[in-house]
Amino acid sequence: MRPSLELRSHTPRSILYLTPVIAALLTAFSGGVLFAALGYPPLEALYAFFIQPLTSLNGLAEIGVKATPLVLIGIGLSIGFRGNVWNIGAEGQLTLGAICGGAVALAFYDVEGVWLLPLMVIAGTLGGMAWGAIPALLKTRFNASEILVSLMLTYVATLFLSYLVHGPLMDPEGFNFPQSRLFHDSALLPTLIPFTRLHLGAAIALFIVVAGWFVMARTLIGFQVKVIGLTPAAGGYAGFSQKKVVWMAFLTSGGLAGMAGLFEVAGPIGQLSPSVSPGYGFTAIIVAFLGRLHPVGILLAGLLMALSYLGGEVVQIELGLPLAITGVFQGMLLFFLLGADLFTRYRLRWNRSPAAGTAAGAARPAEAREEAA
Amino acid sequence: MKTKTWTLTRRAALSLAAGAMALSAAATMPGGAAVAQDDPLKVGFVYVGPVGDHGWTYQHDKGRQAVVEKFGDAVKTTYVESVPEGADAERVINQLAQSGHDLIFTTSFGFMNPTVKVAKRYPDVMFEHATGYKRADNVSTYAGRFYEGRYPIGVMAGRLTESDTIGYIAPFPIPEVVRGINAFTKGLHSVNPDASVKIIYVNSWYDPGKEREAAETLVAQGADILVQHTDSAAPMQLAEEKGLIAFGQASDMSQFGPNAQATAIVDDWSDYYIDRVQAVMDGTWESQDTWGGLNSGMVQLSDFGPKVPEDVAKEATQIVKDIESGDLVIFEGPIKDNAGEVRIAEGEAASEEDLLSMDWYIEGIDAQLPKN
């Protein structure tokens, strides 16, 4: 009797909604086992990880702050991924967005005005788009791998930022430490809830979720992206331009990553410093796939990812769990989620003989059994 | 061990502001004192690296453990490790303040602005920020004069090198690091003017992979001695493999280089942390700036390794004594930068301000400081 995977012709809705629930239960169970094995109270640890960050207004706001860049970038990336365009360098585009938008804020460090923030957002978005345009150009002109080019440009962007904060953009009163001046009030994003850090960027991210859904589901270009992604040849016969899709994917994802970078420096950070992102551009790739490349899925995945970071901190503070254990736990969560996702596209078959495929019901894992529903 | 700390008079500049805030400061003290009676004092630590880095963070965590050992049930300590410098730091610090911590140590330069921001929100919580320059009524700063340890190891390197080439692995070109490079080079050239220092910046405080690569490059360029200002033991391990000599950073790294380590510059935060916790318990904590050198015990040299001959060890020990007593002032003029400009005039010593903002290489370093 051998298990094998078989492509589903269509995915039942029940499976689509059940797999995340099952994955969450599996994570909670094996996480509990892990915590107990290491001598920490399992229920308390799970509570601290998943529930406690949600019990205060500030905790909720912080999840919004953390999820904002992940969702913004994830939406942008998902458009490209659907069209088989692999932008791995969102981190670099984010950095350029932070640089360009931040440079505007610093250029007007002694001038206040309501026009400043919009100008920064435009500059940041354009900066990200420009950085995304490089791999797009090299791809469409010379067929250079956009994966490598966009990834490598990330390091260029990070070092460029490092150069700027060590040099031209360094705070003149900062004892030569590599940081810019602090942005003044009209260069900072207004907060949505008083006494929290939840900023306007979170609301814009929500708007982008809706816009992203609209573009992919209701517009011609969204349709073209999907067709080219599924079968490039068919797209070609239909007269859809692959180059156009590459450009559109990189400009959108680059622009949104740039905007996310600007939101970080004009939001929670409030200045330019050598590190403006703990790898949001890379984490957003996970978020995009975790959300099944669907805008609403990405929103949920971004929030879950944010919760896992906050939960990791809470268990460190409340129970003294070392960071490595929370890292393992986060890994398990992703593993189960993505693993369970397999069953939305494939079904598990136990082959004893070609005819007796369904006889082994009792031995099947829960996920596989759901397909009958 | 001596427990003297150096309190600088730079604080005087802040006293005006402090006066204006006297009311809130007065409110802060009794809060701290009351806690000492029944509930354990909650002390939080925010680390930039993992506690197992065997360098910077490892030493801070040893300081935390010393606090636990000293006060037992009277304290409850918490730490959060590998906190990225940036937007996340403020959340973590806030979380610690919100969950009832009375005293919070934030142990990396990049935590400065987040610490100050959170401190404004929690006037009754006391904060201690390492290596920064912004203070408030409830924010103290502290750091070690690590450069004082770098002068004697420069002298040792000058005596021990055969290829007259020293490899120096540096994190970022910030004043603290530049100060260390200059102090090292000054020590080196005081006994061996022909030796050259090759510097590689890895743009990270802790990145074993990059640090190792940098070390390999330096060895390929002829370096037979490795000096590091980064926190992992990777360069030390490479030196051990290749039979070279290396100097440990922040922590005694002899377990990674039993033969290679000539000595290490050890940061010892234990006494300082115990003092500050005690001050909160006594209700005497107040905002101050501490910059402890060799004579405070905050900076120490570890035991000499097997490759250090008796006379070199003796010389280094004497230099440490001279620095402790003040007979030897490392940055005493005339000092020129490597473009030939006089930076510290003859008969003068570098001021605290000069030291804190040092952004030039000393004469004899054949490299450009990476900046505009």
Q: Report the candidate in A66, A106, A74 with the shortest Cα–Cα distance to residue A91.
A: A74
- Do B97 and B153 sit in the same domain of this protein? no
> Would you state the torsion angle of the CA atoms of residues A218, A224, A228, A232, taken in this order, to the nearest 10 degrees?
140
DSSP state of B361: P
Q: Do A178 and B359 touch (CB under 8 A)?
A: no
- Do B211 and B276 sit in the same domain of this protein? no
A237 versus B12: the higher-pLDDT residue is: A237
What is the rounded CA–CA span in Å between residue B204 and residue B188?
A: 25
Do residues B272 and B6 touch, judged by C-beta distance below 8 A?
no
Residue with token string 């490349």: A293
Tell me what percent of the residues of chain A surpass a pLDDT of 90: 61
Whether A9 shows a pLDDT value over 90: the answer reads no
Residue B103's beta-bridge partner residues? Answer: B43, B126
Q: Do B95 and A182 touch (CB under 8 A)?
A: no
Per-residue pLDDT of chain B (372 residues; tens, 9 = 90+): 334 344 333 333 333 333 333 334 333 443 444 444 568 999 999 999 899 888 899 999 999 999 999 999 999 999 999 999 888 999 999 999 999 999 999 999 889 999 999 999 999 999 999 998 899 999 999 999 999 999 999 999 999 999 999 999 999 888 899 999 999 999 999 999 999 999 999 988 889 999 999 999 999 999 999 999 999 999 999 999 999 999 999 999 999 999 999 999 999 999 999 999 999 999 999 999 999 999 999 999 999 999 999 999 999 999 999 999 999 999 998 999 999 999 999 989 999 888 988 989 999 998 888 763
DSSP SS3 for B345: coil
**Kind and range of the H or E run holding A117:** helix A116-142
What is the rounded CA–CA span in Å between residue B172 and residue B201?
A: 6
**Kind and range of the H or E run holding A220:** helix A220-230
Within-domain flag for B361 = no
Within-domain flag for B362 = no
- Do B17 and B155 sit in the same domain of this protein? no
> Would you state the torsion angle of the CA atoms of residues A46, A50, A55, A60, taken in this order, to the nearest 10 degrees?
160
Residue A353 banded pLDDT, cuts 50, 70, 90: low
In sequence order, which residues have a C-beta less than 8 Å from that of residue B150 and are 6 or more positions away?
Answer: B180, B181, B183, B184, B187, B227, B265
Listed residues B278, B296, B314: the one ending a domain: B296
Type of residue found at A177: F
CA-based nearest distance B175→chain A, Å = 7
- Do B183 and B58 sit in the same domain of this protein? no
Q: Which domain holds residue B45?
A: 9-144+268-296
What are chain A's domains? Answer: 1-40+324-373 (no CATH), 67-320 (1.10.3470)
Closest chain B residue to the Cα of A279, Cα to Cα: B84
Q: Are strands B335-336 and B342-344 parallel, antiparallel or unpaired?
A: antiparallel
A42 interfacial to chain B (CB closer than 8 Å): no
- Do B259 and B284 sit in the same domain of this protein? no
Within-domain flag for B90 = yes
- Do B29 and B75 sit in the same domain of this protein? yes
Q: Are strands A2-7 and A346-351 parallel, antiparallel or unpaired?
A: antiparallel
Residue A3 banded pLDDT, cuts 50, 70, 90: confident
- Do B26 and B53 sit in the same domain of this protein? yes
Residues 205-244 of A with CB under 8 A from B: none
Within-domain flag for B363 = no
Picking from A128-132, A292-296, A356-360, which range would have the lowest pLDDT averaged per residue? A356-360
What mean pLDDT value characterizes chain A? Answer: 89
A23 interfacial to chain B (CB closer than 8 Å): no
- Do B44 and B130 sit in the same domain of this protein? yes
- What is the tally of structural domains in chain B? 2
- Do B261 and B350 sit in the same domain of this protein? yes
Within-domain flag for B88 = yes
CA-based nearest distance A335→chain B, Å = 23
> Would you state the torsion angle of the CA atoms of residues B355, B361, B365, B366, taken in this order, to the nearest 10 degrees?
170
pTM score of the predicted model: 0.82
Residue A11 banded pLDDT, cuts 50, 70, 90: confident
- Do B132 and B273 sit in the same domain of this protein? yes
Position A246 scores a pLDDT of: 95
pLDDT digits (tens, 9 = 90+) for A61-82: 999 999 999 999 999 999 999 9
DSSP SS3 for B213: helix
What is the rounded CA–CA span in Å between residue B48 and residue A228?
A: 45
* ipTM of predicted assembly, 2 dp: 0.80
Residues 135-164 of A with CB under 8 A from B: 158-159, 162-163
Q: Do B86 and A276 touch (CB under 8 A)?
A: yes
Position A276 scores a pLDDT of: 93
Within-domain flag for B314 = no
| Chain B interface test: which of A171, A177, A276 (most B C-beta within 10 Å) | A177
Whether A348 shows a pLDDT value over 50: the answer reads yes
Q: Do B80 and A313 touch (CB under 8 A)?
A: yes
Tokens of B163: 């290829």
- Do B255 and B343 sit in the same domain of this protein? yes
What is the rounded CA–CA span in Å between residue B195 and residue B162?
A: 9
Within-domain flag for B121 = yes
Whether A5 shows a pLDDT value over 90: the answer reads no
CA-based nearest distance A263→chain B, Å = 11
Residue with token string 């960050």: A53
CATH of the domain at B93: 3.40.50.2300
B98 interfacial to chain A (CB closer than 8 Å): yes
B7 interfacial to chain A (CB closer than 8 Å): no
- Do B261 and B348 sit in the same domain of this protein? yes
CA-based nearest distance B118→chain A, Å = 11
Within-domain flag for B101 = yes
CA-based nearest distance B261→chain A, Å = 29
Residue A351's beta-bridge partner residues? Answer: A2
